[in-house]
Amino acid sequence: MLRSGAWLVGSNLGSQVLRLASNLVLTRLLLPQDFGLMAAVNTLYFALVMFSDLGVWQSVVKSPHGEDARFLGTAWSMQMARAGLLALGVLGMVLGLLLGQGAGVFAPDTVYADSRLPWMMSVFALCALLQGGESMRLATAQRQLHGRVMARLELSSQLAALFVTLGLAWWTQTVWALLAGTLIGSAMRTLLSHLVVPGAPVRPCWDRSHVRELLGFGKWVLLSSVVGFLAAHGEKLILGATLGLATFGVFAIAGNLLAAAMGVYSTINGRVIFPSLSQALRDGDETGLVRVYTRVQQIADGFLGLLTGMLLMAGQWVVWLLYDARYHEAGWMLQWLSLGLLAMRHQVVEQLMFARGMPAWVTTNNILRAVLLATAVPAGYTLAGERGAIAGVVLSQFASWPLSLYFKYRQGLLHWGTERWWLPALLVGMAGGSIVHLLLSAWHA
């Protein structure tokens, strides 16, 4: 687990550095409105992805049949069928946007009213087909904790996307450069999954018993993914219809910076912690399971607490030092949104829920977050404008804490060893952030 984690952490740090560097260049070449448009495209496409998620990879990772040729072939067939349906869903959404714009449904100056949005969205139908063709070797590499292989593939596909995006942005200075880079990155990832990831060839097939197993687990993953998307990204759907296009683009910059901070944790959580917990369960090692969970929860709490405290007190300097004045409003947004990082500490126990085959608990957690998000963001915007809306976003991320704590209590995992680190780490992070803020303020003065 540590070896795989080291590769993935290194890869993710490299990925975040590349993404940040390209973002800094692109903000000099493009307008805030362009980032707002791309954020809307990504959000709408991701909504369709999550609304059709059958948890194929998670099934391969956790299933005792996860390395059988017919199981993998069936999983790949389901993945490709889903990709075709997803592409049709993208085109259906394009038609809906065109009809809505023609009927004047969307408020002027919002991202949904922009005439470029439907045509940009249509390109993602091809992305869906490309992702459906990814080799099942990627899932088995995740199952076997082959972090080095996954790291190399991720960085290679990102570099290809980066070169294309920067080159086209310099040449055209239009938002289409961002879209072209995304398409090239998807194509490169699919190609490399067949060429460089080790493993036996997998042929598409259809085995009814394996289909039943995949759908039995996947129906809960699907429901959890739908409400999980609404809980984690629903604010973009809401704010995209209320904020002006430029302001929404500034919000997207703050969101991108927060995503960079979350990247390492999310990668480790999904690609190391979940397979490790699943392996302990397959081995029937309950003591080992408790030991792995306790250790990774402590590490997650330390990391998230420190990061949250630092960004809460000094996050605005990240924006002020890196971006020009057009994007400075993203500074306070980043500070406030960083509190949501602390809420992510219970994603560790949600991986345990998945590993134990209890995804209904994760679904319920996501429902709690989605319901509070759907009510708190509009209410906050009505009461206090942009700041009230973002306060609602942050508050909603903590809605699942009571249920997660109850689950840990039932599993015998709620004890001092798993709960003692996050608050001290937060306070230490806030102290460090305050020192950074004072030093930079004195230097800037």
What pLDDT, in 10s, does the model give residues 397-414? Answer: 899 899 999 998 888 888
Note the helical H segments in 173-285.
176-195, 208-240, 245-268, 274-282
pLDDT at 184: 92
For 302, residues 6+ apart whose C-beta sits below 8 A from its C-beta are 421, 422, 425
pLDDT at 426: 95
Signed CA dihedral, 214, 219, 221, 226: sign only: positive
Distance CA 95, CA 275 (A): 40
pLDDT at 433: 93
pLDDT at 308: 94
pLDDT at 2: 60
pLDDT at 73: 86
Give the chain's end-to-end CA distance (angstroms, integer).
47
- Angle of helix 286-322 relative to helix 274-282, nearest 10 degrees, comes to 180
Residue ranges of the chain with per-residue pLDDT less than 50: none
The domain spans of the chain are 1-219, 243-444
DSSP letter string, 363-411: HHHHHHHHHHHHHHHHHHHHHHHHHHHHHHHHHHTTTTHHHHHHHHHHT
pLDDT at 133: 87
Q: What is the dihedral of CA 170, 175, 176, 181, to 10 degrees?
A: 70
pLDDT at 94: 92
Signed CA dihedral, 403, 406, 412, 417: sign only: positive
What pLDDT digit, counting tens, does each position of 247-304 carry?
888 888 888 888 777 766 776 666 667 677 777 777 766 777 788 788 888 888 888 9
